[in-house]
Chain A
C-alpha cells in the first residue's frame, strides 16, 4: 500500500497568514493527489485534485503543487472559515490512502 505522510499534524496561524501543509507519498504517484478539508461533524470537502487543480467553487487562496512523491497545499491568506482538518489522499491505485491529517486552528 502507498503510505501518505502529512506534516505538520497541527498548525496554529493568524488571519492573513500564508499556510503550507506538506504531504509525502511512499512511492511515485505522479499527480494523482487530492486535498480535502473537513470540519467537525461534517463530511470532507474536495479542495484540490490532480495535485494542483482547484475544484469549482473553492476560493482561489487555496493552491496545490507538487508531483511524484512531494506535494504541498498552500492557503495564500488565511481566513477565519479555514479552520478544520486537512487531508491529502492518493488515488493512483487502490487501496486509496489518506494522510493522517493536519488540524488547522485559527489564533
Chain B
C-alpha cells in the first residue's frame, strides 16, 4: 500500500526557511515523479514543484529560485527546502506521487501546515 507522510511544517517569519520532508512507502521513489502541491487557507489547490524519476526538477514561477525540491532514494524521502519565505507561502503542503507513464497524481499525503507570519 502506498503511503506518504509529510513533516516539517510550522510557523516561520517572513524571510525565514523551512524544510519539508515526505516519507514514502509502498513504492520506489526513484521510479516515479513526485510533487508538492499546496493549498492556502480557504483556497484551491496549487502545484508547487516536481521531481521526475530521472531527477529533473520543475517549479512554479512564484517559487523558482526560493524553493528547492530533492529526494533521497536510499531513504525513500522527498524534500522541499523553502527559503526567503513570504506570507503568501502560507498553506497546507501536500506531497503527491504521480502514476507511472500517464503522470496523473494518484496518491496524496495528509499535508503539513506552513504558516509564514511575524
Physical interaction between A and B: yes
Contact A49–B99 (Cβ < 8 Å): yes
Given the interface pairs A94-B58, A95-B60, the reply to whether A46 lies near B104 with Cβ below 8 Å is yes
Given the interface pairs A94-B50, A95-B60, the reply to whether A43 lies near B44 with Cβ below 8 Å is no
Q: Which residue of B lies closest to A100 (CB)?
A: B44
B interface, size bucket: 20 to 34
Contact B108–A91 (Cβ < 8 Å): no
Given the interface pairs A94-B58, A96-B35, A96-B50, the reply to whether A46 lies near B106 with Cβ below 8 Å is yes
Given the interface pairs A43-B94, A50-B102, the reply to whether A98 lies near B46 with Cβ below 8 Å is yes
Closest CB-CB distance, B16 to chain A, in whole Å?
Answer: 25
Q: Is the interface of B mostly helix, strand, loop or mixed?
A: strand
A36: chain B residues at CB < 8 Å are: 45, 105
Contact A44–B45 (Cβ < 8 Å): yes
B104: chain A residues at CB < 8 Å are: 32, 34, 46, 49-50, 89, 91
Interface centre among A34, A95, A100 (most CB of B within 10 A): A95
A44: chain B residues at CB < 8 Å are: 45, 94, 105, 108
For residue B28, CB closer than 8 A to chain A, the reply is: no
Q: How far is the CA of A52 from the CA of B48 in the complex (A)?
A: 25
B99: chain A residues at CB < 8 Å are: 49
Which residue numbers of A lie inside 8 Å of B, CB to CB?
Answer: 1, 32, 34, 36, 38, 42-46, 49-50, 55, 85, 87, 89, 91, 94-101
